[in-house]
């Protein structure tokens, strides 16, 4: 799937405003589409990528929602 417009996945002005401080830090928004145990299929403005959580996030998480 070639995703170039995250508005199809719910991106709107609310999320744009909330994300502004992260964008200044060179982060880019994305939408998690599928979970594969510790990997995630993520849609970005540049297409699909596989992502994984950092070891620290996994360690600090108290449950799956984190």
Summarize pLDDT for 4-41 with one digit per residue, the tens. Answer: 688 888 889 999 999 999 988 888 899 988 988 778 99
Domains held by the chain: number: 1
Is position 65 within any domain? Answer: no
| Residue 45 falls inside a structural domain | yes
* Residue 31 included in any domain: yes
For position 56, what pLDDT does the model report?
Answer: 78
Amino acid 3: pLDDT: 59
pLDDT for 14: 95
What lies within 8 Å, CB to CB, of 27 at 6+ separation is 19
What does residue 50 show for φ and ψ, rounded to 5 degrees? -95, 140
pTM (predicted TM-score) = 0.68
How many residues are recorded in the chain?
66
Q: CA 46 to CA 4: how far, in whole Å?
A: 6
Domain annotation covers residue 1: no
Please indicate, yes or no, if residue 66 is contained in any of the structural domains.
no
Rama region for 12: left / alpha / beta (φ>0; ψ in -120 to 50; rest): beta
Domain coverage including residue 18: 6-60
More confident residue, 60 or 23: 23
């Amino acid at each position: 799937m070639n995703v170039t417009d995250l508005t199809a996945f719910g991106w709107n002005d609310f999320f744009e405003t909330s994300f502004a401080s992260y964008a200044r830090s060179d982060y880019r928004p994305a939408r998690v589409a599928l979970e594969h145990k510790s990997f995630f299929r993520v849609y970005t403005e540049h297409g699909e990528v596989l992502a994984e959580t950092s070891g620290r996030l996994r360690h600090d998480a108290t449950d799956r929602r984190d």
